[in-house]
Amino acid sequence: MEFRHEPVLLQEVLEWMNVRENGVYCDGTLGGGGHSEAILKASGGTARLYGIDRDENAIRAAEARLKEYPGFRAIHGNFHDGRELLTEAGAPKMDGVLLDLGVSSPQLDTPERGFSYHEDAPLDMRMDRSRGITAAEFLNSAPEREIMEVIRDYGEEKWAARIARIICEHRAEKPLATTFDLVEAVDAAIPKAVRRRDDGHPARRTFQAVRIRINDELDPLEQALRDFVDCLAPGGRICVITFHSLEDRIVKRTFKTLENPCICPPKAPICTCGRKPSVKVLGGGAIAPSGEETARNPRARSAKLRIAEKLDRKG
């Protein structure tokens, strides 16, 4: 399978990353290498770029795609461990970091990965298939309350309790094994009239929630953002693309805290906590894709880009 993925918000990323010749960059969510290739091209092929991905298929595809760029280095791992991985690779301070937090098109479009509710396939959902439990193993073993909380908290699904109960009823008769087994449980839990009114597939929130749980996508995100900011050189920028509100809230909150870390009482005449800003937030908030891009690539509809620039705190 050819690992091809149309990079989202590409022009916006290039604009805000402020790519320069001989710069040092990190694509913490490498995917098929689309964003990385554009950054390397924008540098005139002179940049060093470290690409991190937990999906070995993505690593192989990116290495083949970017073999003409001597400054490219692929690293198999999770961007949550980005600072450690970059240190192990001997990387210097970065001029730019990109994190594209979406699931790549090849992962969605490859049935055996188990991410899609449109294809009947093994219920896997692991981004790194060399480790961790599958979605089937989680759904067939977790307590009903835990499943409910995952679907409620990570999918923002109001029918979470019913869905969890039906999943447990179904697995008592036969363990869930495929994506359509999970779709069937969701269909049985959500009233038909509600499903007809739903703008989109009724199982999409449950699939999102289970995928987030299986890949531990949210809990380590704030620390990962802080670690990557630490990896930036003064004036370096971090660009983060999110695809759902849970991720975006974490990115927004973390950038805001790094920009204004003071914990003194609001009415205090002077700051006594000693906490200094480490970034300046750029872009005036979240940047959305253009109408032209969403028409060309509907999967970009929910994307948001946020940017922060590392401050020089010397002196």
Amino acid 38: pLDDT? 97
Task: Pick the more confident residue, 263 or 226.
Answer: 226
The tens digit of pLDDT for each residue in 84-119 reads 999 999 999 999 999 999 777 667 767 788 888 999
Amino acid 1: pLDDT? 46
The tens digit of pLDDT for each residue in 44-70 reads 999 999 999 999 989 999 999 999 999
CATH of domain 116-215: 1.10.150.170
Of 102, 97, 84, the closest CA to residue 32 belongs to: 102
Amino acid 315: pLDDT? 39
90 alpha-carbon distance from chain centroid = 25
Q: Is the pLDDT at 2 greater than 60, yes or no? A: no
* Residue boundaries of the structural domains of the chain: 10-101+218-310, 116-215
Q: Would you give the DSSP letter of residue 239?
A: E
Cα–Cα dist 77/58, whole Å: 11
Cross-strand pairs, 279: 310
Of 253, 252, 251, the closest CA to residue 224 belongs to: 251
**Strands ordered across the beta sheet of 304-310:** 72-76, 48-53, 24-27, 94-100, 232-242, 304-310, 279-287
pLDDT band with cut points at 50, 70 and 90 for residue 4: low
Class of domain 10-101+218-310: alpha beta
Task: Pick the more confident residue, 279 or 266.
Answer: 279
Please determine whether the domains at 10-101+218-310 and 116-215 fall in the same fold group of CATH.
no
Q: Residue 267: is it exposed, middle or buried by C-beta count within 10 angstroms (0-12/13-18/19+)? A: exposed
Cα–Cα dist 169/186, whole Å: 12
Which residue type does 198 have? D
pTM for the full predicted model: 0.90
Cβ-contact 47, 92 below 8 angstroms = no
Amino acid 314: pLDDT? 60
